[in-house]
Structure 1
Amino acid sequence: MKKAAIIIASGFEEGEALTIADIIKRAHLQCDLVGFEQEVKGGHEIIVRCDHILNETLLDYDMVILPGGRPGGQNLLENQDVISLVQYFNEHHQYIAAMCSGTVVLEKANVIKGKKVTGYTGYQDKLVSGDFVNEVAVFDQNIVTSQGPATPYPFAFKILEVFGKDITEMKERLMYNFAGGK
């Protein structure tokens, strides 16, 4: 079974992290919330109890996911363990996914050079080593990126496609297409 870990730091965007986890779990894949502490408070003061605390056991996962948030994205960016983890995943050709302000971690970790990426509005000035495109969710080589708080559904669907899942039925069950999604 494929395993994904969503790394959450204080100030994380709850709508991003929890929606992504929900959709991945609906696809019957393992998705764990991993925090700097056991309980992490999001940007809207929702406290989440994590499955694990950030440590080296994450090296066995197939994908690491970095949601955004303010100041969650900045807190991820300032954590050297997160930077090292992203670099390890890139060096070992494992998947890395980031959205919104979480994408700046990819720039600092130097893993997007020459890869197509997207991020929050104005992040073309922050993701300078990548090939920035204005798309909702993008996959290039081992990197999945997305734009912001309104895009966790297409982002999570892109992650499922990377894992080889057919998302047609799930989109139907979730009424995604009915709600105007593509």
Structure 2
Amino acid sequence: MTDIAGTKILIMATDGFERSELLEPRQELKHAGATVHVASPKSGKIKSWKDGDWSDTVPVDLSLDEVKVADYAALVLPGGVINPDQLRTDEKAVGLVQQFVAAGKTVAAICHGPWMLAEAGVIQGRAVTSYGSIRTDVENAGGVWEDSEVVVDNGLITSRSPDDLPAFIAKIVEEVGEGKHARR
């Protein structure tokens, strides 16, 4: 895996995140040398959701109000149905997605995470993928949906499901290694 030592990456999530879609990117990005922080609208710990089980917790490193986009090279948006559905109703969370995209930073969303991209209005005319059940939402937001394990459009990375995590994480590392992307 490419070395991205010294790079800071933000994962934005709340209760109901898909366990593997937060834990695996966090672990692998740290392994590649990045400093990874978890930001959430709530403090303390957030709980994962998998198959009816509120289980693993992850400590929150900072609140959404504390996030400074300039401090980070990338934003990762895990899925799960509950997590992005909650975050897309939070103006600060949506605003952070818009700021990361406007700054040309890498933004990666997996599974239901692209709901955040749709809510932020940042996928118009861009190639994206998502969990199949939100395809219509993505297309209605102007995204050009395709059924691929990972889709990259000028620093915007999307994947369909936990099965795609290896390709998703590899693309995050690659895109972060490339640096800032031109605004669209």
Look up the match of 2:106.
Answer: 95
Which one of 71, 77, 84 corresponds to residue 82 of structure 2? 71
What is the root-mean-square deviation in Å for CA atoms of aligned residues? 1.5
Look up the match of 2:37.
Answer: 32
Deviations 1:61-106 (A, max 9, x none): 1111110113112011111111000111111212211111111110
Alpha-carbon distance, 1:15 to partner: 0.9
Alpha-carbon distance, 1:154 to partner: 1.4
Look up the match of 1:139.
Answer: 152
C-alpha contact (below 8 Å) 1:38/1:52 kept by paired residues: no
Look up the match of 1:168.
Answer: none
Which one of 37, 42, 47 corresponds to residue 41 of structure 1? 47
Q: Is 1:81 matched with 2:92?
A: yes
Instruction: State the number of aligned residues.
Output: 165
Which one of 107, 122, 142 corresponds to residue 133 of structure 2? 122
Work out the percentage of aligned pairs sharing the same amino acid. Answer: 29
Instruction: Could you tell me which runs of 5 or more consecutive residues in structure 1 were left unpaired when the two chains were aligned.
Output: 166-182
C-alpha contact (below 8 Å) 2:79/2:111 kept by paired residues: yes
C-alpha contact (below 8 Å) 1:7/1:66 kept by paired residues: yes
Q: Which whole-Å CA distance do the structure 2 matches of 1:109 and 1:57 have between them? A: 17
Q: Is 1:12 matched with 2:17?
A: yes
Divergent runs of 4+, >3 A: none
Deviations 1:135-174 (A, max 9, x none): 1111111211111122222111110111228xxxxxxxxx
Alpha-carbon distance, 1:4 to partner: 0.8
Alpha-carbon distance, 1:48 to partner: 1.4
Q: Which whole-Å CA distance do the structure 1 matches of 2:99 and 2:72 have between them? A: 11
Give me the TM-score of the superposition, normalised by structure 1: 0.85
Alpha-carbon distance, 1:30 to partner: 1.4
C-alpha contact (below 8 Å) 1:38/1:53 kept by paired residues: no
Instruction: Could you tell me which runs of 5 or more consecutive residues in structure 2 were left unpaired when the two chains were aligned.
Output: 1-5, 179-184
Look up the match of 2:62.
Answer: 52
Deviations 1:103-143 (A, max 9, x none): 11101111011111000013320111111111111111121
Task: Give the structure with the higher percent strand.
Answer: 2
Give me the TM-score of the superposition, normalised by structure 2: 0.84
Structure 1 stretch displaced more, 54-63 or 12-21? 54-63
Q: Which whole-Å CA distance do the structure 1 matches of 2:68 and 2:112 have between them? A: 22
C-alpha contact (below 8 Å) 2:29/2:169 kept by paired residues: yes
